[in-house]
Amino acid sequence: DGPEVVLLAGLGSTAHVFDDFARRLARHARVRGVTRRGFGASTHPVNGYDQRTLARDVKIVCDRLGLARPVLVGHSLAGSEMAWFELQWPGRARALVFLEAAYDHSRLGELDEMALPPASRPPARGDKSSPTAVRDWLRRTRGFTAPMSEVTALFRFGADGRLLDATGSATAAGIIRHALPPPPFASVRAPTLAVYAKPTLASRYPALDSSDAGNLSRAHARVALERDWMATQVAAFQQAVPHAVIVVRDGANHHLHLTDGAGTALAVGAFLGTLDQ
């Protein structure tokens, strides 16, 4: 029972990143997930990575599934695709839920211009020895535990279990990341929930080596910058979408659906409960 929900993953992820979260959300809705072109088991064409086309892909999936008025729930960069969906097909989405997604990602470069992130260590040989090792490395360095189905959807492993390479298209990721227009948030008319994760040092850099004073200083500066930048982004989104329900979680991880799947599902479920039947 409940509304039809379509989950849209952030850049570089597949729909399997929502496997655990979807089971929680299924208490409130009928849930599907979409992997964008260029990643996972979706096709990897050489073009079609502009925001209008990616939004059209979502519409085509909804059409083929017979979803007349889905609720779109997107993480991170999927927020831009949701805004372009709303611009091109106003009234088609029953509601929009932005999970750490209501940002103008075309302006992310501003952050690096002002303060570079701290240096991080690449995975060691042992971190690539198996899907479980890769998952553990992601947990230690990114602060979240991905479903094993997401790990095996993101990466190819050899017969001995060792990591070979990523399944996603590096070309696709580069095109999407560097050719982003500002999202048309002012076009959003559907009921909207936007959940933000305000970073702290612990949530942003869980594996930071505190013994490196220089790197620690860079991390503190970067987190302070990101907190200020996020505040301006929240204000801009609220101005563009004044009817939006906005929730800011101080100290939360960017991957809210992984680090607090239960709480996030409850928040989304409560919002879904306010929609007109």
pLDDT digits (tens, 9 = 90+) for 48-96: 999 999 999 999 999 999 999 999 999 999 999 999 999 999 999 999 9
Binned at pLDDT 50, 70 and 90, residue 277 comes out as low
Q: What is the DSSP string of the chain?
A: ---EEEEEPPTT--GGGGHHHHHHHTTTSEEEEEPPTTSTTS---SS--SHHHHHHHHHHHHHHHT-SSPEEEEETTHHHHHHHHHHHSTT--SEEEEES--S-GGGTHHHHHH-PPPP-PPPPGGGGSSHHHHHHHHHHHHS----HHHHHHHEEE-TTS-EEEESS-HHHHHHHHHSPPPP-GGG--S-EEEEEEE--HHHH-TT--TT-HHHHHHHHHHHHHHHHHHHHHHHHHHHHSTT-EEEEEET--S-HHHHSHHHHHHHHHHHHTTS--
Residue 211 clears pLDDT 90, i.e. is over it: no
**pTM above the 0.75 mark?**
yes
Q: What's the CATH code, domain 4-119+170-272?
A: 3.40.50.1820
